[in-house]
Amino acid sequence: MMAPADIVQFFARHFVSIGWTDQTPGERSSANKGLGQPFNVSAFAMEVSGEWFLVTAGHIIEDLKVSQRKGQVLTGFQLNDSWANLPDGAMALPIDFEYILARAHSLYDPDLGLDYACIHIGDHYKRLLQKGGIVPFDEMAWEKGLPDHPDFHIMIGIPSQWSSIDVRAHPPSQELNCVLFPIRDLDKLPENLQGKPHRFYGKLDEELHCPDGKLLTDLDGMSGAPIMAVKKTEDGKMHYWLVALQSAWLPSERIVIGNRVLVLGNAIRAVLIPSIRRTRQEND
């Protein structure tokens, strides 16, 4: 069962997708009547010690670095915050590819199951995202009071199966749908998935269908999506916390695999925040 539009919009206050078009000569540049192949990935805003970061999966940033080294032609980078209280017809925010790579930091090791990335957002983009209604997950959301036994989990993102490509646009754009998924607890964790406490595991509902009626079988586009824990607390209200970012999944068992955000938040505070402050002091 899908969440109503107003509930999606509420949680989309934290959600920002990153999009671009691959116009590398050959198959990619000839796609969509020669306009190129658009890509969009999930991300969200997170605040650590007063600094804003866009958080996504580490393999996304690593793949972009590889594409740059190989000389692929990636154009039209943009941040899309249009699901968060923006008026109809609002435009995505153009952003320079070099800006993204210069400010991106990855904690990525497939063997260890680490798949984190963050992009430090400067004041200019921070103001634009705030104007668009974006609210970051702050320490109260990702660090303080996380429940040991939440009532349920949810995940918000832009699955490619829910999207279509508009070839009338130049460059072409994906008509994206931001979707809120329920994630069920696993009764028992498979043995091959045990031993990685920094990971989150949950099960995707088997009754999730795309707008065309087909079963949701692929989470492409959801990498980097925030996973939230929800619990009714003693004050009688429903509260939510950021617990993980979506990284991978096992389609045969519909198991969602995430990386716990507390690990990333602590790493940002210990390593990146001092570096950001030193650089700022040197430039003052």
Residue 241 lies in a domain: yes
Question: Above 70 in pLDDT, residue 86?
Answer: no
∠ Cα 280 284 121 (to 5°): 35
Residue 212 lies in a domain: yes
Residue 230 lies in a domain: yes
Q: How many domains does the chain have?
A: 1
- Which pLDDT value is given to residue 273? 95
Give residue 118's pLDDT band: very low, low, confident or very high (50, 70, 90): very high
pLDDT 10s digits, 11-45 = 999 999 999 989 888 877 777 777 788 889 999 99
Residue 6 lies in a domain: no
Strands 37-41 and 17-22, by their bridges, are antiparallel
- The string of DSSP letters for 193-254 reads G-S-TTEEEEEE-TT-B-TTS-B----TT-TT-EEEEEEE-TTS-EEEEEEEEEEEEETTTT
pLDDT 10s digits, 178-200 = 889 899 888 777 777 777 778 99
Whether the bond between 171 and the residue before it is cis, its omega within 30 degrees of 0, is yes
In one letter, which amino acid is 277?
R
The SS3 of residue 71 is coil
Residue 229 lies in a domain: yes
Residue 2 lies in a domain: no
Residue 75 lies in a domain: yes
In angstroms, the CA 11 to CA 204 distance is 19
CATH number of the domain residue 39 falls in: 2.40.10.10
Question: What pTM was computed for the model?
Answer: 0.91
Residue 3 lies in a domain: no
Residues of the chain above pLDDT 90, percent: 54
Range of the domain at 31: 13-283
